Structure 1
């Protein structure tokens, strides 16, 4: 039921479970003015930070969206009334990587699409720019599917907000949410004329002035990186003009330093994620996409390998999801032929896999990734170069890897896994010769 913004909501909220508090907060709009809404938004943020993806899916339901749409249809509330709460709901949905599919098929979503078109087509003197921004942000945040025809309205509209360089508190908030909304437009083909010059300006201005929050800066990069899957011509801009690897490495290191490691849930190894950790997750996703879709490689990426290794070590024992992302990234790197094995060794990637493999068990699900990582390295070291100088370099690298593994006692661990493959029902145990030295030295 839709409630007023009186004291009734606050009564008993401290004892109420997070998901029940949120379900009471979400639709509560019709009697609130902007002054009253602000505390409710803050309360909603506090609740949203506590809950997980599953709870979010049980709260943001078809019934809630249909109820809001019905009240708008029957003129029991203005379309403008639920905007703020819906925007915050979408914000947390995107930040927590939740998928609220019921919104995509709801009449409320269709209403958003119609309102965006109607508002955009009004004459300049009649158009409500703030309302258009709000409904574009709601539409992009709550959706997983989009009407691509609306990109020509939503993307320029929100980039205009992101380019507003005023320094007021309100303007900064508006820039942040606009960029964050754009970051949810995943893997869609978008005409470069709609965004490229503007998103470059946003990123370069931050690099000079640091006038965005870390989440907003990551969002600008995520929007750009996600275009790579459809447009390879962006590689030069991303890698060499805007220096993605350098920026990602710096941001990861800063975020790790800012994590509150003394929080009780972190100390206990529980995976409740504060905002810095959620932003780290987003950077790791964007880095993964850059490794997959960007073929260019420069020296700045070498430093990024070390930063990823550092994130893994920082979160080991605290957050298995972050650690999995780091392992997956370095596994991807082991297959990229333009990534030097010397760099993987120097930046700790090989060490990460080998040390973890010594400590893992059959139940950890990490053995296979480690062995495939190792096999990627081995098979690359077996490739014979035509040029004598390159062949000498390869043999030198092989010797270096072998001596390091021998010194640390890793070859015994690897050979021991050969004996358990039948138990694991794995078909490719022939890759792991018991004469492991042959792979590294005699190829």
Structure 2
């Protein structure tokens, strides 16, 4: 039987089981979910299935506790692997979750805090930024209490991980004064740096909420870069996670959570380079880390390799990132190595072009003063020498042919003269 057939058979048998037997079957189903690819996941978790779960709950054939056990794992898995199945949003089960969250929050007597947390987590992890704004003011404070726990035991660490993970499902544009929670998230990060009480995913989720969730103002960037040491911490985390991965195994064979957490860290770094301005030596070291991950992932992990190239392209475009930093930390060498790969695809070729085009444009800018002019001449010389070392002359002729195969929608942005993308002394 296939994974989906096994899952369907277990699900169809839930109604005939008592509560304890249901738990056993749901644990088996959760294990099968971990084995699913995107196509298998989407074929199973349809509006019809979510409506069926709702019907079973309403007919008291599936207790809420068991439904939560299943739904929380479904949400956790799809967010971790970024499957983003939107069937839940339009289901009756989604409406019922919303109603229950509001009902529990509005209770005049003692609330069931554990139930409220479970409901909020299930609801958020299913949505991927489509949260009803009325529920944000309930869910965020609720999960923040859980995220602020400091115990190091495995059970608490998992609770904190899921709570922080849930924060990442709240869209930047959602009408919520996220700065209200800024100090609490900062304290969570500070405490982790001193005591290392969080899982890798929990810590990454806290950073994602900080960088992607708050207005980009000078004070926020100062805290992120110089107080919380984003560059240092991101590099340390990615290097630690990389040690757990067998880069020689194919992406679909690796199956390690560390692969997905690295991808999420790359998203955070890309977001920082796109929207923030501060730059320091710790962030410069992060460029070297990205280059190492790019080289390690080149053969067997396409998604990570592509994300690394996106980051290097963003770094080349960001005028706060010194060109010398890219040269010293291996970015030029990594891009030139990629150009020489026999299986390079259109997206990577385009990123290579953008990388060199951005550098070229920056070095052609009018010199502010004589000292700056001399500095740029020296930089051009270094870059030219680096290109000679990597066999640049042999590659440039081939670029004329490659351009014609690029996706049509990028034609208006790309020159047909490949030499426009390189720096000449």
How far apart are the structure 1 equivalents of 2:158 and 2:18? 21
Q: 1:140 aligns with which of 124, 132, 141?
A: 124
Q: What pairs up with 1:13-162 in 2 under 5 angstroms?
A: 16-25=1-10, 31=17, 33=19, 37=23, 40=25, 42-123=27-108, 125-144=109-128, 145-162=130-147
1:83 to 1:199, Cα distance in 2 relative to 1, 3 A: same
Contact 1:119 1:128 in 2 (8 A): yes
Q: 1:432 aligns with which of 395, 410, 418?
A: 418
- Displacement after TM superposition at 1:34 (Å): 6.8
Give structure 2 stretches of 5+ with no counterpart.
Answer: none
Give a deviation string over 1:64-86, Cα, whole Å, max 9, x none.
21112122333334333311111
- Displacement after TM superposition at 1:184 (Å): 2.0
TM-score by length of 2: 0.90
How far apart are the structure 1 equivalents of 2:390 and 2:88? 54
Contact 1:271 1:318 in 2 (8 A): no
How far apart are the structure 2 equivalents of 1:52 and 1:229? 35
How far apart are the structure 1 equivalents of 2:161 and 2:94? 23
2:179 matches 1:219: no
Aligned-residue Cα RMSD (Å) equals: 2.6
2:233 matches 1:247: yes
SS at match of 1:80: helix
The aligned counterpart of 2:370 is 388
The aligned counterpart of 1:206 is 192
How far apart are the structure 2 equivalents of 1:40 and 1:103? 22
The aligned counterpart of 2:309 is 327
- Displacement after TM superposition at 1:271 (Å): 5.9
How far apart are the structure 2 equivalents of 1:162 and 1:47? 28
1:423 to 1:127, Cα distance in 2 relative to 1, 3 A: closer
Contact 1:228 1:235 in 2 (8 A): no
2:294 matches 1:312: yes
Contact 1:68 1:108 in 2 (8 A): yes
How far apart are the structure 1 equivalents of 2:297 and 2:153? 36
Q: 2:224 aligns with which of 217, 234, 238?
A: 238
Contact 2:201 2:261 in 1 (8 A): yes
The aligned counterpart of 2:259 is 277
Contact 1:18 1:51 in 2 (8 A): yes
1:435 to 1:205, Cα distance in 2 relative to 1, 3 A: closer
- Displacement after TM superposition at 1:17 (Å): 1.5
Contact 2:357 2:420 in 1 (8 A): no
How far apart are the structure 2 equivalents of 1:299 and 1:188? 31
How far apart are the structure 2 equivalents of 1:270 and 1:76? 37
2:350 matches 1:368: yes
How far apart are the structure 2 equivalents of 1:158 and 1:272? 31
- Displacement after TM superposition at 1:56 (Å): 0.9
Contact 1:90 1:138 in 2 (8 A): yes
- Displacement after TM superposition at 1:236 (Å): 2.3
SS at match of 1:81: helix
- Displacement after TM superposition at 1:340 (Å): 0.7
How far apart are the structure 1 equivalents of 2:346 and 2:178? 44
How far apart are the structure 1 equivalents of 2:326 and 2:251? 28
Contact 2:185 2:210 in 1 (8 A): yes
How far apart are the structure 1 equivalents of 2:362 and 2:198? 42
Give a deviation string over 1:239-289, Cα, whole Å, max 9, x none.
22212121111111111111145xxxx535656542110111111111111
Give structure 1 stretches of 5+ with no counterpart.
Answer: 1-15
**In proportion to residue count, which structure has more helix?**
2
Which stretch of the first structure deviates more once superposed, 324-333 or 419-428? 419-428
How far apart are the structure 2 equivalents of 1:72 and 1:419? 61
Contact 2:14 2:22 in 1 (8 A): no
How far apart are the structure 1 equivalents of 2:101 and 2:218? 31
- Displacement after TM superposition at 1:415 (Å): 3.7
- Displacement after TM superposition at 1:430 (Å): 5.0
1:420 to 1:95, Cα distance in 2 relative to 1, 3 A: closer
2:151 matches 1:169: no
The aligned counterpart of 1:353 is 335
How far apart are the structure 1 equivalents of 2:188 and 2:207? 10
TM-score by length of 1: 0.87
The aligned counterpart of 2:385 is 403
How far apart are the structure 1 equivalents of 2:420 and 2:311? 28
Contact 2:178 2:214 in 1 (8 A): no
Contact 1:248 1:283 in 2 (8 A): yes
How far apart are the structure 1 equivalents of 2:250 and 2:271? 32
Q: 2:167 aligns with which of 182, 186, 191?
A: 182
SS at match of 1:267: coil
